[in-house]
Amino acid sequence: MLDSLHIEPSGVPIYVQLRDQLLRAIGAGILKPGERMPTMRQVAVSLKIDLNTVRHAYDALARTGAIVVQPARGTFVAEHRPEEDPGARARRLDDLAHRTIASAQAGGLHPAEVAQRILAITQQKDGTS
């Protein structure tokens, strides 16, 4: 997993690049729910970046619920959440949708194209293409 991570001199903050690459790995199933994540130190050494930068990326992932930090045990890809109240779920969906729209627009993409691609990828993963 560590060998697939890389940092590019693109002007995009390093922690954002790392966060996005880890999210892609989770979304693609490379990192599976419940799987232990590489330690922050392992990532920092592998990428030759500051430990605080990795911590910033991991903190961002934890805030979104993509990973779970368990003190003295490690960091793990989040398991699928049990059903939550509909209001909280709607807020999480809205938050994700707004972040996705902003990210798409910042990258010069139309949000509808992103939505179509998300559906196509999901169908491929589910074997329903």
Which pLDDT tens digit goes with each residue over 20-72? 999 989 888 889 999 999 999 999 999 999 999 999 999 999 988 899 999 99
Split at pLDDT 50, 70, 90, the class of 81 is low
Residues 54 and 90 in one domain: no
Residue 49: predicted pLDDT: 95
Residue 74: predicted pLDDT: 93
Question: For the CA atoms of the chain, what is the radius of gyration?
Answer: 16
Task: Tell me how far apart the alpha carbons of residues 30 and 33 are, in angstroms, rounded to a whole number.
Answer: 10
Q: Which amino acid is at 119?
A: L
Structural domains in the chain (count): 2
Residues 65 and 92 in one domain: no
Residues 91 and 66 in one domain: no
Task: Tell me how far apart the alpha carbons of residues 118 and 12 are, in angstroms, rounded to a whole number.
Answer: 23
Residues 21 and 72 in one domain: yes
Residue 98: predicted pLDDT: 85
Highest mean pLDDT among 66-75, 82-91, 96-105: 66-75
CATH code, domain carrying 69: 1.10.10.10
- Answer whether residue 83 shows pLDDT above 90: no
